[in-house]
Amino acid sequence: MSYNLDKFKAGLKELNIVLDQNQTEQFLNYYEMLIQWNKVMNLTGITEFDQVVEKHFLDSLCLVKSVDLTKKYRILDLGTGAGFPGIPLKIAFPDMEIVLMDSLNKRIRFLNEVIQTLGLTEISAVHGRAEEMAKKAEYRENFDICVSRAVANLSSLAEYCIPFVKKDGMFLSYKSGEADSEILQAKHAIFLLGGKIGDIVKYRIPGTDMNRSLVKIYKVKNTPKAYPRKAGTPSKNPLK
């Protein structure tokens, strides 16, 4: 099947990202797998090609606005869902080591199929809840960067994500353009978890009028062992 790649190419150019032919084909194969699997399980409500390009692929890649992705980082994509932002980041920056984590096993099956079909290396998909996985030695404070596009309150997200980040690493949260009050409300929770709010990068997804924020949180000290709290608590009762 052929696709009009004009929007994708224009967006990549705006982000200063250059893909070779193989990487472009990996994105197209990923799109086709997403649509195919979406027929039998709920992966995304966005299925039209240009919309997926803008709202999933380019939005995921906007991480370049906040961090230099030419460096080799170990990245955790928490609550990855259908693989965003982790898989677009891995395709565009193949030197990254990425772990995709999600609490739904059927999504992990999809992601493993994507990884295998696209021939991606140094990337794995792991099934588990953040509250439990963050207690395991092989994951806790083991990543340079944790990213999340998950839709949740920043206080809750911080409790899920910051425990995975090494001291001197970063948690990067994708948020809507109007996140200022949410960021302010999460400040004390972030402090309790060993984090400190850094830059907040505001941008528009290339080729659209959709405003977004990337919140950069630095890990300045180790997270106390009490966090994250037991399963479900960070969402139901966010830290104040």
CB-side neighbour CA atoms (13 Å) of 2: 2
- What burial class does residue 4 get, using C-beta atoms within 10 Å of its C-beta: 0-12 exposed, 13-18 middle, 19+ buried? exposed
- Give the integer Cα–Cα distance in Å for 108 and 117: 14
Q: CA-CA distances (angstroms) from residue 6 to 9, 24, 77, 207?
A: 5, 12, 28, 10
Residues placed in the known binding site: 79, 84, 130-131, 149
Residues placed in the known binding site for S-adenosyl-L-methionine: 79, 84, 130-131, 149
- Give the integer Cα–Cα distance in Å for 166 and 216: 14
Partner residues linked to 101 by β-bridges: 78, 126
Residues, the chain, total?
240
- Give the helix ranges, DSSP H, for 79-213: 86-92, 105-118, 130-133, 154-161, 180-192
Q: How many other C-beta atoms are found inside a 10 Å radius of the C-beta of residue 1?
A: 6
